[in-house]
Amino acid sequence: MPLQQIFDANVFKDDYDPAAKPVVAIDMTECKPEDQPRMVALVNRLAKSPCGLETLQIAADNGFKFSFFDAGVRCCGACDEAGHWVRLNPQESDAKLVGTLCHEARHAGQFVRGAHEAFGVMDVRSELMCFRAMEADAQTYAVTACKELSLQGDRSPYNIFAARYPEIEEAFRASYDKHGKVNYDVMTETNEAWYDQIRTKTVYEEAYQIEPMTKEIYDLKQGKEPTLFYDKQKMTAEEVVALACWTKDGNYYTKDPKQLESGKFMDVAQQAMGDMREFFKMREELTGMKPDPSLETIPTRPDYMHRERPKMGEKPMAGMFEAKDRILNNKQRYASEKQAQKAAFARAAANRSR
């Protein structure tokens, strides 16, 4: 099949068993009846992985509701703390959604253990450390589950993960080859590789730090009360690792947690640091609230991405501050760019061979 036809082909086949029951008692009250057989198939497929089964069971036991997004949503999946739900994108392939389901169900478990997704509650240093650790852990669980399925002969979820997240998969594969099995060292080294994704880190700090700050200054200028405080809670690296890297058999993180406090684990883009400094300066002028001193402990890295968005305090663009959508939309754009490049290379190679 030509490359373009592969990209344009339907991503799944409607051939699910309507009589199948989930091996984990998930809540599907928000899942449309016609979509429930597919959700059951995804859950049962992921549950064949011990890692996936553990993750699904925690989300199910704590009342998270499983369903699909309506058409038009771009993100692959999401987990909402307040709404207590996990949702998947029905336009993605089952092979992709197996890993996504594990990732989002892992977030559900993090929320159960005390993690939160509200902005401006912790100081900036703690917020960066905690939000990043949650993402690194969710991806670690996803690739681990996909590998466990691959070892049983179900290889497509792992192959899709490898194509979408090469930095993480390459680290996982190298560590797995070194140790010969999935163990805590492999999971730790995989977790570390999340922080090598410079574009992903940039997208997350834009959505989780800069965009809420931009909106806050705009709202303050309109006479609204402050909502971001950055002074109520702090977390140590040890606390972050204990929360994010939990397993039923003990914490898997085998390195010194303090490494999360420096270097690639903590750095932000220079533009982001400039924006955060501007936020605290403008907030103090508007409210008298003092800047967050933790900002001075955060290292910076060079800027690698061009950004187009309002300056601090300017009127926000419509829909700009839906953080999850912004993150996933940007990540999808980068994936599309890579896909387009691969297609162009394939066409060029085909032309040369004629």
Please write the tens of the pLDDT for every residue from 77-136. Answer: 999 999 999 999 999 999 999 999 999 999 999 999 999 989 999 999 999 999 999 999
Name residue 142's amino acid: A
Tell me: pLDDT of 220 over 70.
yes
Q: 166-195: per-residue pLDDT in tens?
A: 999 999 999 999 999 999 999 999 999 999
Residue 212 lies in a domain: no
Residue 55 lies in a domain: yes
Residue 148 lies in a domain: no
Share of the chain above pLDDT 90, in %: 78
Residue 194 lies in a domain: no
pLDDT at 14: 58
Residue 221 lies in a domain: no
Tell me: pLDDT of 7 over 60.
no
**pLDDT mean over 14-35:** 95
Kindly report the pTM of this predicted structure. 0.86
Q: Which residue has the higher pLDDT, 3 or 43?
A: 43
pLDDT at 350: 53
Residues 142/105, Cβ–Cβ less than 8 Å:
no
Residue 127 lies in a domain: no
CATH of the domain at 74: 3.30.2010
Count of structural domains within the chain: 1
Residue 268 lies in a domain: no
Residue 172 lies in a domain: no
Tell me: pLDDT of 249 over 50.
yes
Range of the domain at 73: 22-112
